[in-house]
Structure 1
Amino acid sequence: MTAILAIDQGTTNSKAVLVSSEGEIVARGSSPVGISHPQPGWVEQDPERVWQSVLEAIDICLAAAPTVSIAGIAISNQRESVAIWDGETGEPLGPLVSWQCRRSAPACAELKAAGHSARVEALTGLPIDPMFPGPKMRWLLDRAPDDRPLRLGTVDSWLVHRLTGGKVHACDASNAARSQLLDLKQNVWSDELCDLFGVPKVFLPEVRDSASRFGETLDVPGLADGIPIAAAIGDSHAALFGHGAFAPGDGKVTFGTGSSIMTTLPHFIAPQNGITTTIAWSLGGQPTYAFEGNILVSAASLPWMVEILGLPDVQALIDLAETADPQGPGFVPAFVGLGAPHWHADARALFSGITFNTTRAQMARAVTDSIAFQVHDVFKAMAAQSPTPLGRLFVDGGPSKNSFLMQCVADTLVHPVIQCDAAEASALGAAYLAGLTLGLWDDLDAVRALPRKTAGLMPRPMDRALRLATWQDAIFRSTVSVTSSMGE
């Protein structure tokens, strides 16, 4: 059997899956990455550990299907996390600064105060925020040695470098679009933006189509030399592609540590209302655009609440939440600030409206409901600006398997959601792109026709007004309390 080896490098785990020419997963492997918080608001990983976890996941995956022949390799990756390394030796010259990290908040505040927000957003589709790589790259450069052949890049470019034995420094357009250094309309690195953020273009990777030949494997433990790397794409974009959400208005929500809501656009549209515009993927030199809203903390709040309440696991928390009267306190998971559509870096997590009558079950429900409420805020902002009605909405990621959580999303949005059976939507999307490069599938229609197991959840009648009012009040308190304390 011939299959595509899809690497899905995430925040907490690296996964590897083998995808057959019929679009089916035939083997899986996974390995934890590890993450550190050297000081409040700082989040980083070890680039070498990221690479080793990928190798471990590949070993586990291939051991489960020893007779499979690998036609090519596809990469999907956590986005907005950036690394710096020696272009000749491959030695990391700093940490992998995570997309969650807020260390660049002071630099972002200076750029905003200097009046650069409107111009940056017009060129990149993104607000100035510590989530995005530009200022983080400058932070890494300020601490790197001057006498080394420096390379900067997102995780896809780091993996391409290692997979090709250091021969290739390249990234795909979807990852480049999240760097805040790419002119989104021209799909090229912007001299103006690189100057603004202090990042020399010479250190950046070559921008390529998402489906293209990035190079061939060389000196990779466990893999033969000469296997083509046939696709690279950001994980959220890969999930959208994997669902076959090619029609304008189709979208998806990827639930994980944070969440990403993305809807396909018919053409480039400058963003408003706290959402962003991005390149979903690029094929044949032509980018497909999408609206996106990034939620910084989503399912990551669940294990935190499990520990607070002394429960055995996340499922016990969800079971407890399901028993509660939903008209309870509000909870905002702004542990590292708020992302879309609020974009408040200094907001902090809080419960609001707690009384002596508040129960443990209601607190659990407030935490689970916050997942749906954050999606609601982004979805509403997208619907207000979308040139087409929002259509099919797919959900993926670990939490999407829980029907209670996803029913809360459907009820809150008053919009059907489509659960997908495969947990590896991002890996599948990357594999489909590689299949286009390798000729396993002829076109998007062939990808759209691949089998997918789905189940729809319809919204139920409910009183949303009070719940949303509680949520909006909690959002206000999470931002104004920090602003007030900073002013004292």
Structure 2
Amino acid sequence: KVKWIFENVPGIRKRAENGEILFGTVDSWLIYKLTGNHSTEPSNASRTLLYNISTGDWDSEILKELKIPQAILPRIIPSSGNFGKTRKDLFGKEIPVTGVAGDQQAALFGQTCFENGSVKITYGTGCFTLMNTGKVPVFSKNKLLTTVAWDIGKGREYALEGSIFIAGAVIQWLRDELKIIDTAPLSEKLALSVKDTGGVYFVPAFVGLGAPYWDPDVRGTIVGLTRGTNRAHLVRAALESIAFQSKDLINAMEQDVNSGVETVKADGGASLNSFLMQFQADLLNKPVILPQIAETTALGAAYLAGLYTGYWENTDDVKRNWQARKKFSPSMKEGQRKKMLKMWTRAVETAEGFKPL
């Protein structure tokens, strides 16, 4: 986008050379409006394709190739750092801005996933799974994204990330398009009204499949329908599809780091669905833990800010502040789990085999 602007907007390069033009991510725009400082931090900078996640600075080779002057880019400081103070005319006094991070990275921090291999899943319209990989970036062999997680002033820490395009959105589709449920919370009651899906598997690839498949041409597919299939079976299969896709991501991450995940922390709107959380624990064969404070992205930003100002002494102090609200323990028999996972794989293969000509 920046390259296009420089090539297509008359006079923009000259203005950039004169210091009249700045470019950055949303966080840097907010920081600039609040404080007058043009700054960002590593987790946001790493999403620009202009940042070198290994060196921790803007990539001079990429900038040269795209002919983008580095002078327009924000200064990069730690995620827990001094971004300046808000203008007095905004809130009546100056307020320090000391915690900034990308959405999912902040949620990872808000879930206190500070150790190597710790994982959180955010269940929203889409679904985002992140694993802390520590001080060394792990470059995925399973089509996952390697990103900076944060820098709390002690050097960059990294994460693996996998994105699912359609998660809670599949329930919205059942509600708004098929109109077989009136409200999203009703999905849990309907799912529990039947003992299983009756052999139905739902691959909600409405806009293709995200990680770890990355296949934009796949389309939504429902398999296993019989004359006895009813709306409860469809709703249950839709909810189960969210957990199946998340299981695929966890598998990919475990392969990339050559180590198993012990527990998974969950947040986001769909995590309020207890049927989904229990089924997720059963599929993963691992406990799924929900936090006391559901807004983990905001909590993560607050933790980052508090660490810099000294409100929290260190990450151990932050972990003591974090509290679990509920824990879902796996209870599914191994044979049933393996059978369901095999059938899910077959359903995905069926969807991949039926693409538009």
Q: Normalized against structure 1, the TM-score is what? A: 0.66
2:50 aligned with 1:181: yes
Give the equivalent residue in structure 2 for 1:299: 168
2:353 aligned with 1:445: no
Q: Judge conservation of contact 1:333–1:349 (CA < 8 Å) in 2.
A: yes
Q: Judge conservation of contact 1:396–1:419 (CA < 8 Å) in 2.
A: yes
Q: Mapping of 1:304-315 within 5 angstroms?
A: 304-307=173-176, 308-315=178-185
Q: 1:468 to 1:217 in 2, by over 3 A?
A: same
CA distance in 2, matches of 1:310, 1:181: 46
Give the equivalent residue in structure 2 for 1:317: 187
CA distance in 2, matches of 1:319, 1:390: 30
Give the equivalent residue in structure 2 for 1:381: 252
2:80 aligned with 1:211: yes
Q: Mapping of 1:55-134 within 5 angstroms?
A: none
The one-character-per-residue Cα deviations of 1:19-61 (angstroms, maximum 9, x if unpaired) are xxxxxxxxxxxxxxxxxxxxxxxxxxxxxxxxxxxxxxxxxxx
Q: Which runs of 5+ in 2 are unaligned?
A: none
- SS, match of residue 304 in structure 2: helix
Q: Judge conservation of contact 1:256–1:298 (CA < 8 Å) in 2.
A: yes
Q: 1:360 to 1:252 in 2, by over 3 A?
A: same
Counterpart residue identity of residue 346, structure 2: D
Give the equivalent residue in structure 1 for 2:158: 289
CA distance in 2, matches of 1:474, 1:208: 46
2:245 aligned with 1:245: no
Instruction: Tell me the CA shift for residue 380 of structure 1.
Output: 0.4
Counterpart residue identity of residue 475, structure 1: V
2:299 aligned with 1:428: yes
Q: 1:300 to 1:269 in 2, by over 3 A?
A: same
CA distance in 2, matches of 1:395, 1:261: 9
Counterpart residue identity of residue 186, structure 2: A
- SS, match of residue 280 in structure 1: strand
- SS, match of residue 99 in structure 2: strand
Q: 1:327 to 1:356 in 2, by over 3 A?
A: closer
- SS, match of residue 356 in structure 1: coil
Give the equivalent residue in structure 2 for 1:72: none
Q: 2:234 aligns with which of 346, 363, 371?
A: 363
Richer in strand (by share)? 1
2:349 aligned with 1:476: yes
The one-character-per-residue Cα deviations of 1:259-316 (angstroms, maximum 9, x if unpaired) are 1111111322221112222111112150111222111221122111112134210011
Q: Judge conservation of contact 1:258–1:295 (CA < 8 Å) in 2.
A: yes
2:277 aligned with 1:409: no
Q: 1:230 aligns with which of 76, 80, 98?
A: 98
Q: 1:161 to 1:465 in 2, by over 3 A?
A: same
Aligned length: 346
Q: Judge conservation of contact 2:197–2:234 (CA < 8 Å) in 1.
A: no
CA distance in 1, matches of 2:182, 2:223: 25
Q: Judge conservation of contact 1:182–1:190 (CA < 8 Å) in 2.
A: yes
**Alignment RMSD:** 2.3
CA distance in 1, matches of 2:319, 2:148: 20
Richer in helix (by share)? 2
Q: Judge conservation of contact 2:112–2:322 (CA < 8 Å) in 1.
A: no
2:340 aligned with 1:467: yes
Counterpart residue identity of residue 33, structure 2: R
Instruction: Tell me the CA shift for residue 146 of structure 1.
Output: 4.2
Q: Judge conservation of contact 1:163–1:220 (CA < 8 Å) in 2.
A: no
CA distance in 1, matches of 2:2, 2:218: 24
- SS, match of residue 288 in structure 1: strand
